[in-house]
Each structure stands twice: as C-alpha cells, then as structure tokens.
Structure 1
Amino acid sequence: MGIAAVSVSVGGHFWGGLILLLVVISRIIRLGNRATWIVLLVGLVIFGGHLWLQEQRLDRRQLPILAPAQATELAVRVQPDAITIRGALYYLVATKVSNGERVTLRGRLTSAAQLRALQRVHRAEVWQITGQQQRLLPATNFNQFDSAAYWRHRQVVTEIKVTALTERTPAPSHWWQWFSDWWHARRAQLIRYCEQLPGALKVYALGLLPGAKSAESMTELQGMQRLGLLHLFAISGLHVALLLAAAEWLLVHLRLQREHWEWLLLLSLPGYWVLAGASSGVLRACLMRGVQLAGKRCAFHLSTLDTWAVALVVGLWLNPGLLFELGGQLSYGLSLALILLRTESWWWRQVGLTLLGLPSLLTGIFQWHSLTLLANWIVVPLFPIIILPVTVIGTVSFAWLPALSRGCAQVLGIFDGGLQRVAQLPGNVLFGRPFWWVAWFWVGATWWLFSRPAGKRRRWLGLLAVSYVVMYGVIHYPPDGEVAYFDVGQGDSILIREPFNRHVSLIDTGGRLALPQPKWAVAPPVTYNAERTSINYLKSRGIDHVDDLYLTHHDADHIGDLPAFLKHLRVKRVLVPAGMEQEPGWARLLANSATPVRVQPIQVGSPVGLHVLHPFEAGPADNSGSLALQGTFGRLNFMFMGDLDRAGEQKIMTAAPQLRTDVLKLGHHGSKTATAPAFIAQLQPHLAIISAGRQNRYGHPNPETLATLHEAAVPAMSTQTSGMIRYVYTDGRPGKWQTKLISKGHARDNQ
C-alpha cells in the first residue's frame, strides 16, 4: 500500500497519497517489525525511481500544449487487433519504429478497397505514414474525462492525424516480439469472429472474450451500466477467474498430471492476458492466479491477500495511474473486499461491496441506482451459471451450429432487455460528483465500520448514510451560482446557474455538422459531444434538468446536440427566436424527447428570464436573426450575442443607445462579420469571451476582430486557449473567474 500511496501522490492527489502513506506507516509502527520497514523503504525507493524516470521520459517526448500541429513522416509498428474502424474513420495505438514511442493514430479511409484492407490485417505490420502530430489535449471542461491522463498512464503523449498511408509491409518479428505478435494476431482473429455473431451475443462475446467493444455496446449495455453491473465485464476480471477455473477443470478431467497442467496454465497466462484485452481487471485476475500457481510450484505458500498485493504492485508498475481509473478502482477494490469480507454474512458482504464501490461510481459517473444491491444479488449468481456459459456456447457453436448460436443470442437479448426494463424503474439517483477527500473518507469509514463487531455496526452505518445525505445536499443546493462557457469546439454552449440551483438556463447546446458517410462505410451510431462536455458537467453538479434552454438560431454548431439534452435531462422550456418555430428542419431534433417539449418563440419585449435584445420581429433563424440576450449575475452584466452579425448589432445600438455591458460574448465566434468597432465603443465591455474551435477551418477568431478589441483595450479570453471559462459568484458579492486550462497549459484540479 505504500507503493500505492506514492502512485497516488505523484498522480495528482498529493495529500490523499500522503494520508495513505501515513496510515501505512502507522500500521507498520504498531507491528514493530524491522523487516517490514526495510521492505517498505526498498520498495518506495525502487518504485519512486521507476516513476520518476518514466515521468522524465514522457516529459521529453511531450510537445507543448496547444502548439500547432507539426508535419511528420514516419514508420510505425501496428498490431492487427489495435485497429478500430468507425464509419469511414479508423483509430489505433501504434509504436514508432525509430524509438519505440507509443502514439495514437487517427485517419480517414478513402476507399472501399482501403476499408477491406484494414479489416483483413491479420499480423503485425509496419506502416509508412505522413500526418500532423500534436500533444494529446487534456480535459478542457471541468469534471470531464481526461483522455490525455488516461493515455499518459499507458506511456502515450502524442497523437498523429494521418493524412496519407503510403505503404504497408509485414513487420519483422524478433525473438522478443514473437510471443506478443502471435497472441495479438489470435486476438484479432477472435475479434473478427465475434463481430459476426448475432444480436446481443456479439456484444457479450466481444466484451467477455477478447475484451473489445462493439459499436452497439453502449446501446445494448445501458441497463447494465445504469444498474452498476459493468464490473461483470473486463472491469473486474470476474469472468477471467471463471474461465481459468473452467480450463483447470478441463485439464484435470483430461487426466493430465497436476504438475504438468499447472505449468502449462502458468506459462499461458501472459498470452491469455493479451488475448483477453490486457485491461486492469484481466491483469489482476491473471496475476493473482499466476502468483498462486508459481507459489505452489515453488513450494512457497502465499495467502490470497498476498497474491492480491503482488498483483497491485505489478499493476502499478505497468500503469502508475491504475488507482485513478474507475476500472482499476473497482477491480482491485472489490476483489480486496471479497478477500477481507469472506467471513461476513451474505447481507453484510453485499452491503460492504456496495459501500466500497459507491465512492468510485459517484466520482466517475455521478449516479447510482437504488436497485443496484438487488440487481447484484440476482445477477452475480446468474453470471457464472448462465451468462458466461451461454456466451461461450453461443460463440463456439456459431461456426458449426448457427441455430444454437441464435438461441443463445435470444437468451442474452431477453436478459439484457430485462435489465433495461429494471433500469428504467424509479430509483436512479443523480448524486453528483463528491469532493475527492469526501470519497476517500467514505472508503476509510467503510473499512473502519467493518472492523467493528457486527452487533455495533448499525449505528455507525446510519451515520455513514447521513454523510451521504449531507454531501447530496451540498452538491444539489450550492450557495454559489455561475456563468460558464463550455469548450464545445467550434460552437456555443453557455450555462447560467443561479445560487442554490434556483434556476438553470442554457444558451445553445453546441454540435457539429454531420458529414455524409460514403456508401461503402457502415454508419456508426450517432454520438453527441455534449454528452462528454456540458451534460457531463451538469450531471457532475447534480443537475438533472434545464428550466430554460435558449437556442439562438438554427445552425448545427449551436443546436446540433439538442437531442442529447432532451434524452438525458428534463428540459422544461425551449426558447427560440421568433420565426424559428415555423422552420421544419430543426424540429426533427425534438424527436428524442421522452416528454412533450414546450417551444416558445421570443423577440424583443418577451417576458422571459433573460432580457432579449434581438430579434425585433419574426424572421429566418439564420445569423441575421440570431438571439442576443442580456442578464446580470454576481454584480456583472453579461451579453450573449449568438451569431448575430454587424447589421443586427447596429439595430441594437439604435434601439438602446445607452446600452452597456461588463462581459460580452462575441458574436459568431469572433468572426469579422460581427463585433463592429462602433458596437464595442458603445458597450464599453471590460471583458470579451470568444467561443471557437482550435485550428478551425474558418480562422476564428479573425485578426480584424482581435485588433478591434486591442484598440479598445478590451481583454479577451477564448475557449481555444483557456478551455471552459466560468464566473462563480454568490448572492450580493462579486465573483471570480476560473478557467480549466491555465497559462502554463496544465489542467486545473476539477475540484
């Protein structure tokens, strides 16, 4: 655990890691064992040195944040199972031939022939590519999943956008690469085989056997995700333990000598780790079984807790960020709970597993279903006797008895449909994201609770429940309000949240123009950027509704993600510029709403929450008819210009010659078609906000607009360089500005 403390401290939670280290030291002091002190110190020195050298190497490879992409031409080594194809796009992680650095690649397929060629890759290859390389961008919105940190834990800090794949040749396989190459090739074959399976069997087989995701997985497994059952897949490694147990049973009944089959199984575990997807859960399960077998063969007895500790040390050596990831927390945390709570009654064991997993779930996905305990009670026993066997039988029988495979798919489909229906029952609690130290307190308090005699736990269990209720109230009724400009790329999305969440308004949803897919490409499922940015942030703050959703005009970069909001949140009212309600094109975006949506057209003089400055009459909802809005929050006056052009600005100046503002969100992402010098001169803003995408093809913000601001001595902040920008205030007091990305280019702590 001392090594885990160092990993946590270096990974970003210094105080949390320090507290954990102090707990470990206090425990060793109570033991009074000198040998334990020596082991701890040696382990800390070795692991700390390894971690320091690794961080230094990654820092040297890492390009400056937000720096322009650099043209590059290089050779990369590609494993066949690393290639993921979505529509006409492909993604993978490859290794530079020149120095062994791992990089992420993304590119666009140009023909059906190229699509077929990548689908048929069956062995390691060397690709000659040209493209643009840049640093992986960290999370640019508060409480957003940080993919750059995720990949850094896996020794990846650079991404390359491939512009041309000029040559593909078989990769030479040296003696130290042969073993890995062989297993990666087998995994690619298994993935291709599983992708042909029918219905729900395809999703379950891909998740449980090669540890891969299908395009349908997010749809098929929604019920399992809402009920907190995803740990049954590769997250926990439970299926690995079951499959290994089945393999041992088969080897025993084949009359092989125990010594022979144990050595065979031990030597096969590294390959199986690759075959099963190399996730943290799979690694833990393989390591624990491997250490047990090795100890038995070497006549060295190790307890289950010892094997767990060895698995944790090796896991942290390979992935120092293991304990910052939901999968790692659930896999190692729940497996430790199963070991330490094995003497408890069934009821207390289930309570313990729920309480120990809950802080990770609330920190990672912000919600919890009250039926989770019941679902685990029913589903977990079914997993080894029905779900996993049906998946294996359906997969194996597909080639020679497809009727049986289809029957297995129907069984899994019925099971999955039942989970989805249960997940739709009332009981889902959108909790929000607790402070990190509160989550740590809950974990520590739960372990302390189970150190008490069973008869004395109920009172402490009640106090622990009270702490959850208090944290729920703190999240859902915060004394501060905010005006937040989300970083949604080339688009707009602005949150206005009043103190204690009295009223929640949103101006635009962001979105992107959907490019048509070539006829030869299979269209991927529709996804929305808002689910990872603005909606994710709202859920992290415990917000499950929007009182007023203003849509400034009909462009896709402002309203394209509306279906996601209607699906995930209760939207009480949608307000649009007068005339837009008559346009048929945008109405299709309302189709995903679970309840009827009230659409209200507004114009100057309409009695709504924000003051409407434009339009003055009904008209087309293009840039010239965009909404312009105004409101005062935390002693500052804010104006939100949508995509309004200079002609619209002139109308506002003519109608309100005394109009002033403190904070101006520039129209049309800083385009020269908006933000006239006369408009800035009249408004006299103290700060300008620009919402625009990085390296966008339009050149926003335009140099002419920036010059206008400079001449008027108006400072500006842009989501391009600052990420999400928010102004946090309390009633009657001035607020403070916060940005997700700071000047040095490092992300702020989300909390």
Structure 2
Amino acid sequence: MLQWKKHLKQINNYWIFPVLLTIGTVFFILEPSPLTGVAWFYFISRVLCTGDKTIVSVSFLGMLILTISCWQTLNKEQQKKFPEAIEVTGHLSVLPDKFKIDGDRLQLEGSFSQSKKNKRKVIAFYRFTSEQEKQSWQKKYLPIRISLSGEFETPLPQTNLNGFDYRKYLKENGIYQTLSISNMHKIEMENPKFYDVLTLLSSYRKRAIDYCDNTFLKETSLHLKTLIFGFKSSEFSQKEGILANLGILHLFSLSGMHVTFFIGSFRYLLLRCGITIEKLFWLQLLFSIVYAGLTGFSISVVRALMQSIISLSNREFKWRLSGLDCWGLSLIVGLIFQPYLLFSAGGQLSYGLSFFILYVHPIVERINNRYIRMYCFSLLLNITMIPLIGLTFFEWQLTSSLFTFLLLPIFERAILPILTISLLSSFACKIKLLIDVLEIYFVIQQSVFEWLSRYSTFTLVTGIFSPVLFLLTCSSLFLLLHTMSKRSKKAYLIGAGLLFLMNNKYFSPKGTIAFIDVGQGDSIFIQTPFHQENILIDTGGKVDFEKDKWAVKTKQIANADYSVIPYLKSKGVKYLDKVLISHGDMDHCGDLLTINEKIPIRSLYFPVGTEEKPVFRQMLDRLKRKGTRCYPILAGASISRSISLEILAPTVSGTGENKDSMVVYTKVSGRRFLFTGDLEKEGEKQMIKQFPTLKADVLKIGHHGSKTSSDPLFIQTIGLTDGIISCGRNNRFKHPHKETVDTLNQEQITQFHTDKNGMIYYEWTPFTRMSPAKTIMEED
C-alpha cells in the first residue's frame, strides 16, 4: 500500500494522461467511428510516449476499469425489452421527486417489473381523468408502488437533421422504452427504511418543494425550487427562452456557484460554532451527500461537490494534487458510474467550464482592476464554450458575458443568501411583509429580463460544426488561450481566425431543400449556397382543442420549438428572407409567430384572401408591427433572388381554404420541384389545363396524402419521380389514404413519408447536380 501511494504521488500534475485515455476509451466503445478510433490510438501513443511506467500503468488501469463499465452499460442496452404493441401488466416503483405534473399529464420515472428478475428503468406517461385525481397526486411525497397496465414502445429517434434525438437522450440515462399507462389498478405509498438514504433524500426533497409552493408566492417559490433544490417546474420552462436568449440560463442551473455558496456557508457556520478542522472534513463530506440528494443528484452539482471533496481531501491528507488533477479525478469517477456523462450537454458544459476555469484564471489574474478582471474572466469563459455551442446549441450570445458579469455578484451575494435565510426562517416564523417584498422583487426582475432579452442582446448563429470544423475550433481555442497566457500578439490573429471559423456558413457552397418533419403539417426549407438566401414554405402548427382549465399545460410548446427552429438554427439561419404560406389552415401557418419570435421574418407572402381568416389576420397585424413586410399574391407572380419561385395558383382571391392553396414551382440544379400545399383534385385538374406542359421531378403531395388530392391524371401528366408526403405519426385523419398511395405506386413513383422517414432533403452545390433524396430514418 505504501508503495502504491508513492507511485500515485509520482504522477501528481500528470493525471491528465489517464484522464485523456479514459475519455478516449469511453467514446471509442460507446460511439465507435474512424474519428473516435484515431483519437483513442493517439491518446494511447501519447501515454506511451511519456516513458513513465507509473503514468502508463495508471492510465491503462483506468482504461480497463472504463472498458468494464462501458461493457456493462452496453450489456444493459442489449437486454430483452418488454413486449410492445400489446397491453402489459406489472408494477412501477417511483421515488417522490421523480414525477412531474403538467395540466392533465403525469410523467413518471421509475423501475418497472413483472417479476423480480425482469426489472428496468422506464419513463411512463398517464393522462388524468379528473381534477380530483390530479390533486391527489400533487399531495404525494412518499415512494410510490403502482400496479398498472399499459403499452410499451421504443422511443422515437431523431426525425430531423441535427434535431433532438429522444431515443439517444433516454439511452444516455439508462432508459430504453417508454410506457403509456392505460389503467392504474392500485397505488401504494411506502415509508422509506431508515437505511435507504436515497429514498429518504428524495422524500425530503419532494416535501421541501411542496413547502416552497405552500409557503411562498409564485415567483419566489419558483426561484427557491430552482436555485436551491434544482427542481425546474413547468412554470420555469416558460422563462427558459428569455434566460437562454440573455445567456444567463446557467445562473439558474445548479452549478459550482451554488455549491461554493452552500459549502462555504456550511463551513463558516460550523467554524464559528467551534468545530475543529479535523471534524469539519467529515461533516462537510456528509453535508455534500445530503445536499446532492436534495438537488436530485444533478450532473453539475455532483461534479462540483466531487471536485470540492477531492480538493478538501487533497489538503487534509496532503496528496499534493494540482487543480487539474482534482478536476481529472472527479471526471474519472463520474465516468465510471455514468459512462455516457460526456455525451450529454449538461455533462459537457459542467466539466468543460470547470476545465477552462483552470486555464482562464491565470490569464486574468494579471489584470489589476478587479472589475475589468471579473468581466474578462466572464468573457473568456464565454469564448471557451464556442466549440460546444457549434455541436449542440448552434448560437452564441456575445452579450452573455456582460450579463453574467453584472448578475453573478447579485446572485452570489444577495439572491442566494436572502432566499436561503427566508426559507430557513419561515420554519420558525412566516413574515408576510418579507414574502410580499420578495415576490415584488422577482416580478420586477422578470420584467427587466424580458426587456433586456427583447432589446439588448446580440446573438451569432453559428450553425452546426462538422467534426473537422469542431477540431479546428478546439485547436484555435487552445492556441488562443496559450498565446494570451504568453502575452503574445499572435492572440489577435488567432482570435480573428476563430471568428472566421464561427462564420463558416458564408463559405459553404452547399444548398438544401428540406421537407421538415413537423408531424401533421407542412414545412419546407430552402437554403441557397453560400448562405445567400433562406426561404421557408409553410411553418407547420397544430390545432388546439379546448380543455378544462385544470387540464391545460402550463406552457404550450409549439411544434416549431422542437422541429423547425432547431433545424433552421443548425443551418445557421438568423433571419428568414422569405416565408411563403400556402393557405390559412393552422397545420400550415400555426407556428408563424413562434418562428418569428426566434428567427425574424423579413418578407411574408400568402394568397390573396387568406387574410380574411380572423386568426391569420391577427398574425399579420403582429408581424407588421414587428417589421415584417407582407405581400398578398396570386398566380403569375415570381419571387426571385438567388433562385426563382414561380406562383402557379391560385388565380383568383379566395378565403384561405385548401382549394385556395398557393402552388409554388422552382427549378434548382436540374431538378424541378412543385409544392402544392393542400390543393385538391379540382385545383390540380385546373392547373394542368392552364399549364399543359407542366413537369415536375419532385412533388410535395397535396393535403398530406389525402384521397381529396393527387388526381391520377395530374400525377400522370407532370411526370414525377419522387413524391413527398408530409403527415403525422398515427394521425387522426389516417393520412396518407390508401387511394393516394395506390395512385403513386401505379405510376412507379418513389414515395417518402415524413411519418416513416422523418425529414427528407436534397442537397446541391453550384458545381454539382442535385443529390438523390436523403432521409433521416430508415422505414421499418
């Protein structure tokens, strides 16, 4: 043992080598590719090149441990799933802080079992049948065991290019199936055993969250739950867009700042009470575990606490570890217990920021002025996040560093202390004046945030980074930090190069025509080479059905928030040059305002008469107030700049119905595209009479494949090769109809359906012809 301690001390300040090798091992095993393979072999060779037997031994030991951990994770993924598409009965065990209620929907995360041997973690969904049933669930604060019946299904994978992959997200959390509960036969609450620490902490967390709701007013309770217990309710999700736009969402996510405050306060109070340093170490260790449990063991809190414990142990036991060593050891431990840790945005942000803090601190410490030093620190940390932004978020808030600089001291020195004191003191005495004052402050704060978000932010939409661009950006970032630490003037040149890489979209020769999967609706995106023009035909949307007040979700999430908008941002779109609305149905224009809020629309085109629809007229009024130019048009118009869009219908003013759909024709890189909205058979026949020589290679099949469209004569006349049907999975209209599918099959037309294939897209460059159709999902 003494010999091992001696060897371990020899690699102090060199723990980065085992860390790199374990990271390479995890990525190569869990997501094998040529790139991860090259990186893994590079890390192996780099470790071997050190020539230090201890470094090599520890590195390969870490690689072996992570290989076993990854193998166990992959083995879980390959275990037999519960049967799908049939009703299954069993038991679901749920901790009290692992269920969420929003409107009439209940989401549960727990362990489902049919027998003691067959037990797996699942996400389950249930719809309340009455307000009383919902209220009874809101009062539960003990572990729950439910006897139920329902149907399992495999989570949906990514359906749009660069979009959210729900299946991958759940897999990274050890969940491989979702459960739709049809009936709860029996619900039992179980008192946790005194030795079941995790269950006890979950129960106390749920009680604390409910206490905040019952004791404080709405906004104060929201901040208490978010900033102290890490519980983000559906009410908080309403504010996430504003906070993300300001670049201060991290202040509301439990992180090192919160851990530093609570650990520091705990140490200060105990030292003031006369506790010795020796006893304090063990008490702080216990407090860290309890606090992690009360925050739901979030990634950032566990990382910060683990790093804090290692640093404390380093001082206590004189290990002589560097700050980088402590960071590396906390990452290795995290990876052992959760191999997918660095695959999640939370893990990447938490470990990425804490890593770069070690680099940035020495650079800014030379600045004498305290406030300039604090701002430069915030700015440099914001810059270090650029590679991750290019992989996950696609937009960089330049003003984030300024808002963080201004607000971080307020959160650290005012908001967190006041909220903590208010919560603790409320157990002894509830002071109505204090509760009212806090609520007034947070209401004012929210109003200020909304104003700042609207008028004082600057966002650079980078688009998604390719693997090569990501590596170039990372290399430029490390060179920038290195030259700044050396006070070299080359830092200015490297900074300019980094800015160039962030604007790579203007140098991309690739153009795209994409049929976005928006469920039961239409949305088609056209981007021309070198980012000359961004055009959207229809926006998608959904029809809302009236519900009782208790059953309505707190935040109504538009389809565009998880389909159109993320895809457009991944393509580097900051403004839409043109939006064309085929007609006034909500599944074609319902998300118009939502998109305009995130991605401003410069010009809007729609068929004459569509404005007669009251809902669409209201949209127009709001868009005009925001500065969008609106143009009602008819057949014969041509909308041209980088490509020509010819309007073939309607020929007369209508009322915005299916028969009045705008028909758009364009020819790009040798391929002819025809977009017909929800045009019905009568309109199709009229169009081929008016344009008897009309031909198209790719047709957006009318009305989502309904039998009311796709007249056989029309399909024969235009000479199709590809037919694109945009429809929702298991939609209530049963689109596409068999008649339409048969018509297309008879003409030997290649069909693509968004419900089966996800997004369908075509690509071209000024130097190449249009590619064949590409899809995101393989049809079953």
Q: With structure 2 as the length reference, what TM-score do the two structures score?
A: 0.89
Q: 1:158 maps to what in 2?
A: 177
**Bigger shift: 667-676 or 410-419?**
410-419
Equivalent-residue separation in structure 2 for 1:432 and 1:453 (angstroms):
27
1:495 and 2:525 correspond: yes
Structure 1 residue aligned with 2:212, among 174, 189, 194? 194
> 1:380 deviation in Å?
2.7
Instruction: Give the corresponding residue for 1:748.
Output: none
1:32-47 correspondence runs (5 A): 32-47=51-66
CA distance in 1, matches of 2:533, 2:458: 24
State the 1:727 CA deviation: 0.5
Inter-CA distance 425–71: structure 2 relative to 1 (3 Å threshold): same
Inter-partner Cα distance in structure 1 for 2:209 and 2:254: 18
Alignment-derived partner of residue 439 in structure 1 = 470
C-alpha deviation, 1:123, in angstroms: 0.6
Q: How far did 1:390 drift?
A: 2.5
**Residue in 2 that maps onto 1:736:** 771
**Hey, what does 1:471 align to over in structure 2?**
501
2:186 counterpart (147, 167, 175): 167
> Following TM superposition, by how much is the alpha carbon of 1:27 offset from its aligned partner in structure 2, in angstroms?
4.6
Question: What's the offset of the Cα at 1:653?
Answer: 2.3
Instruction: After superposing the two structures, state which structure 1 stretch, 431-440 or 157-166, moved more.
Output: 431-440
Secondary structure of 1:520's counterpart equals: helix
Residue aligned with 1:344, SS: helix
Cα offset for 1:300?
5.1
* TM-fit CA distance, 1:173: 4.8
SS in 2 for 1:491: coil
Q: Deviations over 1:245-275 (max 9, x none)?
A: 1112222222334444432332343332121
Contact 1:62 1:135 in 2 (8 A): no
Q: CA deviation at 1:544?
A: 1.8
**Aligned equivalents of 2:264, 2:773: Cα separation in 1:** 53
> Residue 237 of structure 1 corresponds to which residue in structure 2?
256
Residue 435 of structure 2 corresponds to residue 405 of structure 1:
yes
Distance 1:468 1:300, change over 3 A: closer
Question: 1:616 Cα deviation (Å)?
Answer: 2.4
Deviates more, 1:558-567 or 1:598-607: 598-607
2:370 aligned residue? none
The percentage of counterpart residues that share the same residue type is 27
Give the whole-Å Cα distance in 2 for the aligned partners of 1:464 and 1:413: 43
- Correspondences of 1:476-555 after superposition (within 5 Å): 476-521=506-551, 523-555=553-585
SS of alignment partner, residue 80 of structure 1: strand
How far residue 420 of structure 1 moved from its aligned partner, in angstroms, is 4.3
RMSD: 2.7
Aligned-residue offset at 1:171: 4.0
Instruction: Please say if residues 378 and 402 of structure 2, whose CA atoms lie closer than 8 Å, have aligned partners that are also in contact.
Output: no
Corresponding residue number in structure 2 for 1:393: 421
**Aligned twin of 1:659:** 694
- Which residue of the partner structure matches residue 12 of structure 2? none
1:618 aligned residue: 653
In structure 2, how many angstroms separate the alpha carbons of the residues matched to 1:195 and 1:231?
A: 23
Please say which of residues 403-412 and 17-26 is displaced more in the overlay: 17-26
- After TM superposition, the structure 1 stretch with the greater mean CA deviation from structure 2, 628-637 or 189-198, is 189-198
Q: Deviations over 1:213-249 (max 9, x none)?
A: 1333244454542232222333533202211111122
1:204 aligned residue (223, 228, 253): 223
- Structure 1 residue 293, shift from structure 2 partner: 4.7
Q: Please, which runs of 5 or more residues in structure 1 have no aligned partner?
A: 746-751
CA distance in 2, matches of 1:469, 1:305: 28
Instruction: State the shift of 1:713 in Å.
Output: 0.8
How far residue 374 of structure 1 moved from its aligned partner, in angstroms, is 2.6
The correspondence of residues 275-314 of structure 1 with structure 2, limited to 5 A, is 275-293=294-312, 302-314=321-333
Which of 202, 206, 214 matches 1:184? 202
Change (3 A) 1:476 1:171: farther
Hey, what's the Cα distance between the residues in 1 that align with 2:394 and 2:319?
44
CA distance in 2, matches of 1:341, 1:561: 42
Paired amino acid for 2:440: Q
Moved more, 670-679 or 433-442: 433-442
* More displaced stretch, 206-215 vs 661-670: 206-215
Change (3 A) 1:140 1:222: closer
Query: What TM-score, normalized by structure 1, do the two folds share?
Result: 0.92
8 Å Cα contact 1:630-1:640 kept in structure 2: yes
- Counterpart of 1:427 in structure 2 is 458
Deviation at 1:120, TM superposition (A): 0.9
C-alpha change, 1:325 and 1:505, in structure 2 (3 Å) is: same
User: 2:26 is paired with a residue of what secondary structure?
Assistant: helix
Aligned length: 740
Whole-angstrom CA distance in 1 between matches of 2:602 and 2:356: 43
Instruction: Kindly state the Cα deviation for residue 49 of structure 1 after the two structures are TM-superposed.
Output: 2.3
Cα distance in structure 2, aligned partners of 1:492 and 1:686 = 20
Q: Is the 8 A contact 1:61 1:157 kept in 2?
A: no
Query: What corresponds to 1:681 in structure 2?
Result: 716
Q: Structure 1 residues 86, 453: closer, same or farther in 2, change over 3 A?
A: closer
Matched, 1:370 2:386: no
Following the alignment from structure 2 to structure 1, what is the Cα–Cα distance between the partners of residues 547 and 282? Answer: 51
Letter in 2 for 1:184: S
Q: Distance in 2 between matches of 1:464 and 1:137?
A: 42
Query: For residues 661 and 522 of structure 1, what CA distance do their matches in structure 2 show?
Result: 44
Quote how far apart the aligned CAs of 1:343 are: 3.2
Q: Does the CA-based 8 Å contact 2:379-2:402 persist in structure 1?
A: no
AA partner of residue 414 (structure 2): I
What is the SS of the residue equivalent to 2:761?
A: strand
Q: Please state how far the C-alpha of 1:591 moved relative to its aligned partner.
A: 5.8
The residue matched to 1:143 in structure 2 has which SS?
coil
Q: 1:599 aligns with which of 622, 625, 630?
A: 630
Whether 1:86 aligns to 2:102 is yes
Which stretch shows the higher mean deviation, 132-141 or 29-38? 29-38
Cα distance, 1:298 vs structure 2: 6.1
Alpha carbons of structure 1 residues 334 and 608: separation in structure 2 relative to 1, 3 Å: closer
2: CA distance between counterparts of 1:462 and 1:660? 55
- The offset of 1:698, in angstroms, is 1.9
From the superposition, tell whether residues 318 and 511 of structure 1 become closer, same or farther in structure 2 (CA, over 3 Å): farther
Q: Cα distance 1:570–1:221, how it changes in 2: closer, same or farther (>3 A)? A: closer
Unmatched tracts of structure 2, length 5 or more: 1-18, 366-372
Residue identity opposite 1:577 in structure 2: P
* Alpha-carbon distance, 1:199 to partner: 5.0
Q: What secondary structure does 1:83 align onto? A: strand
1:608 to 639, 653, 658: 639
689-698 or 339-348, which deviates more: 339-348
Q: CA deviation at 1:369?
A: 2.5
Distance 1:401 1:189 in 2: 21
Contact 1:92–1:104 at 8 Å: present in 2 too? yes
For 1:331, the equivalent position in structure 2 comes to: 350
CA–CA distance in 2 between the matches of 1:579 and 1:51? 60
Q: CA deviation at 1:125?
A: 0.7
